[in-house]
C-alpha cells in the first residue's frame, strides 16, 4: 500500500535551539531520508505533530488504515523506525501484530487513530 | 464536512476497574452521545486509542483533513469537547484557528496527523 512516514522536523526534544544547528527533529528526518525507503513507504517531513512534550515524533498513515504516532525517538532509532514502518506498509489495514512491532513502537506509542473512511 | 469524533471507551484514566462499573472512557462516551451531535459530526466509540497514559482520550478526523488526538479528558469537558469538535467539523481542512479552539484542545493535544491524501 502507499504508506507515509511523517517526521516532525521542528521537534526540539527538550533541547534548547542553537542558531545554525538543526534541531533534533530535523536531524532525525535527515537520518531517515538518508536510508533506502522500505517498499510502499514515503518519508515526508512535516512541521509539528503537536507532540512537543514527547519529541522527536513520527506518524504512520495510509489511506483506509489505522494511523499511529510514536514519540521520544532519536537518530539511534532509525533502523527500528524503518523496520516498523516497513511492517506497517506491508499490512492491508495498518494493524501490525503486536509481536512483530519493534519495541519502540510497542512502548512509545502516543496515540492511534482509526481509518478515516470505513 | 463529515467529521468523526472517536471516543476511547476502554480508557481507565488511571482508575482501577470495578466489576459492573463502566470505565471512565465508557462514561465519557455516554455523556457525549447523550448530547445533540454538532452538524457534520458523528460520535463513534472505539476500543483503545493507544493513549492509555493520557486517558480519557478522543480523536477528531475527517477525509482529507488533519487529525487530532486529545487526552486527559473527563465528563466535565463534554461541552468544550463538543464545541471544539463543532469548530473542527466546520473547517475544510481540520485546522481551527488557535484562538477559536477550546482551552482543552490547546493544552491537551497528544498528537496530530497530516491528511492521508493530499
Confidence check: pLDDT of B118 > 60 = no
Confidence check: pLDDT of A1 > 90 = no
Confidence check: pLDDT of B15 > 70 = yes
Q: Report pLDDT for A15.
A: 83
Cβ contact, residue pair B111, A51, below 8 Å: yes
Cβ contact, residue pair A116, B116, below 8 Å: yes
Instruction: Find, among B33, B38, B46, B44, the residue nearest to B89 by Cα.
Output: B38
Provide the shortest C-alpha distance from residue B63 to chain A (in Å): 6
Instruction: Find, among B61, B70, B22, the residue nearest to B42 by Cα.
Output: B61
Query: What confidence tens digit (pLDDT) does each residue in B35-72 have?
Result: 999 999 999 999 999 999 999 999 999 999 999 999 99
Cβ contact, residue pair B116, A62, below 8 Å: yes
Residue B80, domain CATH: 3.40.30
Provide the shortest C-alpha distance from residue B100 to chain A (in Å): 17
| CB-CB neighbors (< 8 A) of A67 in chain B | 67, 113, 116
Q: Report pLDDT for B39.
A: 94
In a domain, A109, yes or no: yes
The grid coordinates of residue B115 equal 491528511
In a domain, A24, yes or no: yes
pTM of the full predicted structure?
0.93
Q: What is the mean pLDDT of chain B?
A: 94
In a domain, B118, yes or no: no
In whole angstroms, give the CA distance from residue B39 to residue A89. Answer: 35
B86 and B39 Cβ atoms separated by less than 8 Å: yes
In a domain, A118, yes or no: no
In a domain, B76, yes or no: yes
- Say which of B48, B59, B117 has its CB closest to residue A63: B117
| CB-CB neighbors (< 8 A) of A108 in chain B | none
Chain A contact for B36 (CB, 8 A cutoff): no
Looking at A9-23, A30-44, A53-67, which range is the least confident one? A9-23
Which residue on chain A is closest to B51 by alpha carbon? Answer: A111
Confidence check: pLDDT of A116 > 80 = no
Share of chain A above pLDDT 70, in %: 97
In whole angstroms, give the CA distance from residue B93 to residue B118. Answer: 11
B7 and B41 Cβ atoms separated by less than 8 Å: no
Q: Report pLDDT for A118.
A: 46
Angle between helices B24-33 and B78-89 (to 10 degrees): 60
In a domain, B46, yes or no: yes
Side-chain half-sphere of A33: how many Cα atoms within 13 Å?
Answer: 14
Which residue on chain B is closest to A45 by alpha carbon? Answer: B114
Provide the shortest C-alpha distance from residue B46 to chain A (in Å): 8
Question: Which of the four pLDDT bands, split at 50, 70 and 90, describes residue A117?
Answer: low
In a domain, A104, yes or no: yes
Q: Report pLDDT for B117.
A: 60
In a domain, A78, yes or no: yes
A69 and A49 Cβ atoms separated by less than 8 Å: yes
User: Can you say how many angstroms the Cα of residue B46 is from the centroid of all Cα atoms in its chain?
Assistant: 11
> How many structural domains compose chain A?
1
A69 and A29 Cβ atoms separated by less than 8 Å: no
Residues forming a β-bridge with B44: B6
Q: Report pLDDT for A20.
A: 87
| CB-CB neighbors (< 8 A) of A70 in chain B | none
In whole angstroms, give the CA distance from residue B51 to residue B70. Answer: 9
- The residue range of the domain holding B27 is 3-113
Which residue on chain A is closest to B46 by alpha carbon? Answer: A114
Q: What is the mean pLDDT of chain A?
A: 94
Amino acid at each position: 500500500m502507499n504508506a507515509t512516514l511523517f517526521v516532525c522536523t521542528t521537534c526540539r526534544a527538550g533541547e534548547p535551539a542553537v542558531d545554525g544547528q538543526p534541531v533534533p527533529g530535523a536531524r532525525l528526518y535527515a537520518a531517515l531520508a538518508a536510508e533506502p525507503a522500505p517498499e510502499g513507504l514515503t518519508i515526508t517531513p512535516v512541521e509539528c505533530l503537536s507532540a512537543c512534550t514527547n519529541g522527536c515524533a513520527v506518524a504512520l498513515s495510509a489511506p483506509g488504515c489505522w494511523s499511529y504516532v510514536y514519540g521520544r525517538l532519536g537518530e539511534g532509532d532509525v533502523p527500528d523506525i524503518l523496520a516498523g514502518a516497513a511492517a506497517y506498509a506491508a499490512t492491508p489495514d495498518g494493524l501490525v501484530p503486536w509481536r512483530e512491532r519493534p519495541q519502540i513502537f510497542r512502548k512509545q506509542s502516543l496515540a492511534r487513530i482509526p481509518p478515516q473512511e470505513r
